[in-house]
Amino acid sequence: MVQSFKGTGSQMLKATLLLSSFILMFFFSNPVKAETRSIDELRNSVVRILCYATDGGIYTGSGFAVGSSEPVRHIVTNYHVVEPNLDGVAILLSKEDQIEAKVIAFDMVKDIAVLELSQDLYKRPPMELGKIEDVKASQEVYALGFPGAADLINDTPSGEPDDVTITKGIISKISTQGGRGIFQIDVAINPGNSGGPLVNANGQVIGINTFGVTIASGINGSVKVNELIPILESRGIAYLTGTNAMTGEGKEITTGTSNSLWWILGIAGAGIFFLLIVVVLFVVVFRKKGNKTSHVPNHAPAPAPVSSPLVQKPMLNGLSGYFAGQTIELDQNYLSIGRDAKQCQLVFPLQTEEISRRHCTLRFDKASQTFTIEDSSSNGTYLQSGERIPQGKVTQLRSGDRFYVSSTENMFEVRLESR
């Protein structure tokens, strides 16, 4: 019996070696392609945008380069970044160097604008646009841009690549809001980095950073990049994709996806090879010694799960309008709603003129577990019943109560949720 198994073990060993050889040949016979740029190197493709308003103010935002190769002539950003004055836009390269830009296409609903530079821009390579179909909730992402808060570190704003900030996070929800596809992310988006790219781990753009709050969490949003592609194609603007192809000329570009795949296959093949060798040797030695030890299963009861106490979290739910389907956690003691990003944490687009610059302020008292709201608007803040909240008077709300700003098209609900 032992002698018979010796032959079987030898055959299994030979089969294992043959299979492993095929795996290793399959891995090493494929050429290694050039890697994509690292996330840090993507800073070179991000620019700071200046918008000189007619009232003398200067608005800042971020954008990223698109095209087939260097030099580039086109920049993508948010519409609200250039909305104060479409004829007063420039790209800030350094503290002393600016390039004028013309807004050649925009979509107010999707909050996207495409700029054409007055001259070629070198050393700012175009970014790859990724596949939206491959994006999943909980996926790791990176937001790049020039947040306004970062300017406090410097004397004056700068547009140099070293000043681009990179913030890591995940996609928490994929939805459609206000006629546009949205990635809800936990990456903080501030007024200065609006219009910057949201990229996946391969460095491909999957979204355009659009809106966010500074105090509440969970309401940061990025417009899906597939909303941009029809605008580029309608203007005949070439762009790179993550599938080794380039729109327009059909020229291939190299990505690091295949290279990463072969590394994964190689590691998996080596792991299978090692595991099979161990199994074969174990069985041969075990049979040679004639061991017939039986395995006694361990029926020890699993420890009882320890339940953690539920915590009531104050939440603001958008029921209709610009923030429909969005959920905001009030992790601070107040949240102001309006159109002015300097005064408010939940910011409506500038073109929604029925909303005041600071329309109302919502507060939550942890001690009493109650909400209060105070109106400071022209068009009013109302309870769901239609009763107008007196301006300047603090009104108490209970969990489940609803209110709207200006009209019922902008309805919200406050709620305590167990987390």
- 319 or 242, greater pLDDT: 319
Same structural domain, 210 and 136:
yes
Per-residue pLDDT, 253: 42
62 and 102 share one domain: yes
Assign 233 to helix, strand or coil.
Answer: helix
Same domain flag for 57 and 116: yes
* Phi, psi (degrees; rounded to nearest 5) at 244: 60, 30
Domain span holding position 55: 44-121
- pLDDT tens digits for range 277-325: 777 676 666 666 554 444 445 555 556 555 555 678 888 899 988 888 8
Under a CB-based contact definition with an 8 Å cutoff, are residues 148 and 60 in contact? yes
Q: Could you tell me the CATH number of the domain that includes residue 56? A: 2.40.10.10
Q: Which helix (H) or strand (E) holds 168?
A: strand 165-177
pLDDT at 5: 42
Give buried/exposed letters for 26-54 (b at 16+ CB in 10 A, else e): ebeeeeebeebbebeebbbbbbbbbbeee
How many domains does one find in the chain?
4
Q: Could you tell me if 159 and 216 lie in one domain? A: yes
The answer as to whether 166 is a domain residue is yes
Residues annotated as part of the active site: 80, 111, 194
| 104 shares its domain with 136 | no
Judge whether 306 lies within some domain. Answer: no
Same domain, 318 and 405: yes
Residue whose tokens read 């179909």: 133
- For every residue of 371-387, DSSP letters joined together read EEEEE--SS-EEETTSP
Mean pLDDT value across the chain: 79
Question: Residue 301's pLDDT is what?
Answer: 59
Q: In terms of domains, do 87 and 185 share one?
A: no
Residue 287 included in any domain:
yes
Residue that wins the pLDDT comparison between 22 and 392 = 392
Please check whether residue 372 is in contact with residue 395, taking contact to mean a CB–CB distance below 8 angstroms.
yes
211 with 162, same domain: the answer is yes
Instruction: Please report the pLDDT score of residue 75 as a whole number.
Output: 97
- Residue length of the chain: 419
- Given its phi and psi angles, is residue 366 left (phi above 0), alpha (psi -120 to 50 degrees) or beta? alpha
Integer Cα distance of 82 and 108 in angstroms: 11
Are residues 86 and 22 part of one domain? Answer: no
Residue 302 falls inside a structural domain: no
The position carrying tokens 């174990």 is 282
In angstroms, what is the C-alpha Rg of the chain? 28
Residue 299 forms part of a structural domain: no
Look at residue 326 and tell me if it is in a domain.
yes
CA 75, 77, 81, 83 dihedral sign is: positive
Residue 195 contacts residue 81 (beta carbons within 8 Å): yes
Q: Mention every residue, 6+ apart, whose C-beta is less than 8 A from residue 97.
A: 159
Q: What is the average per-residue pLDDT within 75-92?
A: 94
What pLDDT score was predicted for residue 22? 55
In a domain? residue 228: yes
| Average of per-residue pLDDT across 183-200 | 86
The pLDDT of residue 12 is 55
How high is the pLDDT of residue 265? Answer: 64
> Is 301 a member of any domain?
no
Find the range with the poorest average confidence among 203-217, 224-238, 277-291, 373-387. Answer: 277-291
b/e 194-233 (16+ beta carbons within 10 angstroms → b): bbbbbbbebbbbbbbbbbbbbbbbbbbbbbbbbbbbebbe
**CATH assignment of the domain containing 385:** 2.60.200.20
